[in-house]
Structure 1
Amino acid sequence: MKGIMVLGTASDSGKSLIATAICRAFANEGIKAAPFKSQNMSNNSYVTMDGKEIGRAQGIQAEAAGIEATVWMNPILLKPKSDQQSEVVLLGKAQEILSGRGYRDSFYEKGIETIRLALGRLAEEFEVVVMEGAGSPVEINLKERELVNMKVAELADIPAVLVADIDRGGVFASIVGTLELLPPEERERVQGVIINKFRGDLSLFEEGVEWLEDRTGIPVLGVLPFLENHMIDGEDSLSLPPSAYKDGLEIVVLKPPYISNYSDIEPFYFEPDVSIRWAARLSEIGSPDAVIIPGTKSTIRDLQYFKREGLDNWMRSFARRGGYIAGICGGYQMLGEQLADPLGSDTGSVHCREDGIGIIPAETTFSADKKTVRTVAKLVPSIGRDIIVQGYEIHLGRTAATHPHGGQSLLLLEDGTEEGYYGKDGRVIGTYLHHLFHNDEWRNCWLNWIREEKGLPLQDTIHIRSLKELKYDELAEHLQNHLDWERLKEIVFSWRKHHEMA
């Protein structure tokens, strides 16, 4: 197998973005590359064509590489449900809920076996595998049974590069400290260092590069300037995009503690007149034109959090005033009247019930089996807009209307069944369809309803997909302009030969 492992000195150092750029750069040169992260911990997930669930970062990296994402690219996904427990998704299917200790004690051998299987499948189909580590490779308390950093590079027998975030400060200590804590055989795999998120005059860091190379004996392959507005979906809450303020409409996104699939919001950042404000408390709400409640990995717990913060009362008042409200997946469930968890699949406590916010006349019942599926649908004809939408569903609950005249469905699925909720002439909508607002025609339609009511100019449709393809190319170009690309390729393709001769 030929490949490269992208390690980081810490979480959010930019591993995912750099791996995405490498995938695109290889693809642009006609090299068939696949992304890989053996174990991902994230609630921002991605559904493959065959209805399996993987980390969103690997789904995006596969898009950048021009290939279809599969479970072999992220065989183990951990989805946090609380501070102590995570759902284990193995080869795209939810298996069990384990504590950190339980996972570490009982899952290691199965994890190694699954990783070997996945690497073998990728080696059969691709020329290069672009691997991504997690956090730091020198978490001493976890290292003995880790499943994602140097152990995986060893299994695949590939070299590694170490990425450090200079924007957060302490870059010299983070690089030298990481290398010092690696045992000699692992340090030997680190063939290059990448300094990421640099701001200012690059010439001012030339002495820093020389010092690092003299101190470590490892070449600095490049210093990458901070890249604004890259439009590449983040992996976890550390990558949550910031609030953005513009003249025009303001959308508040309620931020639950266990937020999932926040990439649902990202297309709004590319609308010329739409501000996004993330709010977790009543004091952060402001006076928005619309509110979106995104998905969550722990619906009832996050609903209880919103209640403690007084956001449920504010939402009901906002709805009475005619405000625009959209709930996606867990947000849709919260907007209903009742949530029932008879098996404890959402909360961990059987027979749990919770009153919803009560804006949508519906009740959700959580079940043991998770639904993960790619979906194509169209707006229900009575809405009066002939719009086809695509997305994916990831959820345990099933939501049913409790009052037949309290609104109507939002979507008509390909099999003829109806889904979601549409009420108050579009002012209240709810759906299980993640990436609803990635559908450009629908997003433009919804925003123009709000613009028209506010007396603002209507806008033309922004085509996100074509913009995203341009962003992948810009990202690859950014990498190649500031990194010794030819040297990185030499590391990838010459490692095994040089390693065997050593």
Structure 2
Amino acid sequence: MKGIMLQGTGSDVGKSVLVTALCRILARKNRKVTPFKSQNMSNNSYVTIDGKEIGRAQGVQAESAKTEASVYMNPILLKPRSTMESEVVLFGEVFSSCSGRSYREHFYPKGIEAIKHALTVLDANYEYVVIEGAGSPVEVNLNDRELVNMKVAELADVPVILIADIERGGVFASVVGTLQLLSEEDRKRVQGIIINKFRGDISLFTDGVSWLEEYTGVKVVGVIPYYNHISVEGEDSLSIHNSLIKEGKKNDHGLDIVVLALPYVSNYTDLEPLAAESDVYLRFVKEKSEFGQPDAVIIPGTKSTFHDLKYLKENGLDHVLVNYTESGGTVVGLCGGYQMLGERLIDEAGTDTNQVGNEMHGLDIAPLVTFFNEKKITIRSRGKLAADHWNCKKEISGYEIHLGRTMATADNAEPFLTVCDRPEGICMNGGKVIGTYFHHLFHNDEWRASWLNKLRVNRGVPQREVVNLLEVRDKGYENLADHVENYLDVEYIINMIEGWKENG
């Protein structure tokens, strides 16, 4: 296998974004390249073309690499359900739910087997693999059974580049400390260092580069300036505010859209297309005092509908939302948010609360009841709008990831979509209240533009043309690749990939 692994001195140093950049850089050089992350912990998932679930970041990286995402790019996905337990998704399907201790003690052999198989498949189908690590490779209390960093580099037998975030401060200590805590064998794999998120005059860091190279004996292959003018999806909720909220305050001509900031929010990248609209401002609201008078409210997906609905009720946001809806407000509930709109939630299988038969009253905005089942639905779907509230003729495409089965309790309930002759979702108040299991609803350009234009008309501001999201996304990958390639010694990296087995 030919490839490279990007590891970090800690979490959120930019590994995911730099893997995305390197995938596009190599793809532009006509290399058939694939991303890989052995184990991802995120509630932000991506459904592959065959209806399987992987980490969202690997789906984005596959797009950047100009290839189709598959489960082999992220064989293990951990989706937190609480502070103590996660759902384990293995090769795109739910394997089990367990605590961190149970996972560590019992899953390790299965994890190693899965990683080996995934790497074998990728090696047979791609020229290069760009591997992303997780956290730090020197978590010394966990390293005897780790599945994400140096063990993966060993299994793939690839060199490693260490990424450090200079914005945090202490960059020299973080690099040197990480290298010193590695075993001698692992330290030999580290063939490059990247200093990320540099602000200011990069020439002032020349002495810092020289010192690092002399002290560590490892080449600094790039010092990447901080940027905020390039839009690519982040990996998880650590970057949600940076990736979605525009700098500056909303002006009178902009749309104010509130997103309820659920503790276990999932698939927040459903909202990314709204960030591509220049007049849309997203506000993440945790308290009722922050609610204000928005043009629309979005209740996003969640990994624990019961838990997050309880959170809304404890904060009084349930009453605020009901009053807002009764006053003619615009509300969209996505997946778990759709379930919350209803009258009752019943955990038949105990899959949401671990209590079989547990019940909870919903927001009672829509005539719905939701039952939680054992088997998760993960499919890509297409449907037609069931009502003519929007100037949109195209099909709506998206994907579904949910355990719940939601049914209307009123005979005259209007569905949102028709999917293969079955009703999907709910539509009320002339299209002002929508509930749907369709993730990626806002990725449908024509529908998004029509929905936003209704908000613009209500506010009394000009309507706007359709924004082509695919073009925006691809331009983002190109801009990111241009930015990183300007400051990265790409030829050194390619030579390292090609010569590793010979020199190793």
TM-score tier, shorter chain, comes to: over 0.9
- Partner SS, residue 346 of structure 1: coil
- Partner SS, residue 167 of structure 1: helix
Aligned mates of 1:473, 1:441 — CA distance in 2:
24
Instruction: Determine the structure 2 residue equivalent to 1:325.
Output: 331
Asked if the contact 1:246/1:272 (under 8 Å) is kept, the reply is no
Instruction: Determine the structure 1 residue equivalent to 2:395.
Output: 388
TM-score between the two structures when normalised by the length of structure 2? 0.97
Deviation at 1:286, TM superposition (A): 2.5
CA RMSD after TM alignment: 1.1
Q: Which of 424, 435, 441 in structure 2 is aligned with 1:430?
A: 435
- Partner SS, residue 340 of structure 1: strand
Deviation at 1:382, TM superposition (A): 4.3
Instruction: Determine the structure 1 residue equivalent to 2:57.
Output: 57
Alignment of 1:420-459 (within 5 A): 420-459=425-464
Amino acid at match of 2:216: T
- Partner SS, residue 464 of structure 2: coil
Q: How many residues align?
A: 497
Amino acid at match of 2:304: S
Alignment of 1:206-225 (within 5 A): 206-225=206-225
Instruction: Determine the structure 2 residue equivalent to 1:118.
Output: 118
Aligned mates of 1:227, 1:439 — CA distance in 2:
28
Aligned mates of 1:12, 1:482 — CA distance in 2:
20
Percent identity for Structure 1 against Structure 2: 55
Mean CA deviation greater in 205-214 or 90-99: 205-214
Q: Which runs of 5+ in 2 are unaligned?
A: none
Instruction: Determine the structure 2 residue equivalent to 1:246.
Output: 250
Deviation at 1:381, TM superposition (A): 4.5
Amino acid at match of 2:394: I
Amino acid at match of 2:75: P
Deviation >4 Å, runs of 4+: none
Aligned mates of 2:140, 2:159 — CA distance in 1:
21
- Partner SS, residue 390 of structure 1: strand
Deviation at 1:479, TM superposition (A): 1.4
- Partner SS, residue 61 of structure 1: helix
Amino acid at match of 1:205: F
Alignment of 1:184-263 (within 5 A): 184-242=184-242, 243-244=245-246, 245-247=249-251, 248-263=254-269
Aligned mates of 1:60, 1:478 — CA distance in 2:
18
Amino acid at match of 1:10: G
| 2:3 maps to 1:3 | yes
Asked if the contact 1:421/1:429 (under 8 Å) is kept, the reply is yes
Amino acid at match of 2:440: H
Instruction: Determine the structure 1 residue equivalent to 2:108.
Output: 108
Aligned mates of 1:439, 1:171 — CA distance in 2:
42
Amino acid at match of 1:328: L
Deviation at 1:383, TM superposition (A): 3.8
Instruction: Determine the structure 2 residue equivalent to 1:377.
Output: 383
Aligned mates of 2:31, 2:177 — CA distance in 1:
35
Aligned mates of 1:214, 1:353 — CA distance in 2:
63
Alignment of 1:337-348 (within 5 A): 337-348=343-354
Amino acid at match of 1:266: E
Alignment of 1:351-500 (within 5 A): 351-383=357-389, 385-405=392-412, 407-413=413-419, 415-499=420-504
Aligned mates of 2:442, 2:495 — CA distance in 1:
42
Amino acid at match of 1:365: F
Aligned mates of 2:189, 2:503 — CA distance in 1:
12
Aligned mates of 2:3, 2:332 — CA distance in 1:
43
For residues 459-501 of structure 1, the C-alpha deviation after alignment (integer angstroms, 9 at most, x for no partner) is: 11111111111111111111110111111111111111100xx
Mean CA deviation greater in 319-328 or 384-393: 384-393
Deviation at 1:387, TM superposition (A): 2.9
Mean CA deviation greater in 361-370 or 207-216: 207-216
| 2:148 maps to 1:144 | no
Aligned mates of 1:460, 1:342 — CA distance in 2:
45
Q: Which runs of 5+ in 1 are unaligned?
A: none
Deviation at 1:377, TM superposition (A): 1.4
| 2:310 maps to 1:279 | no
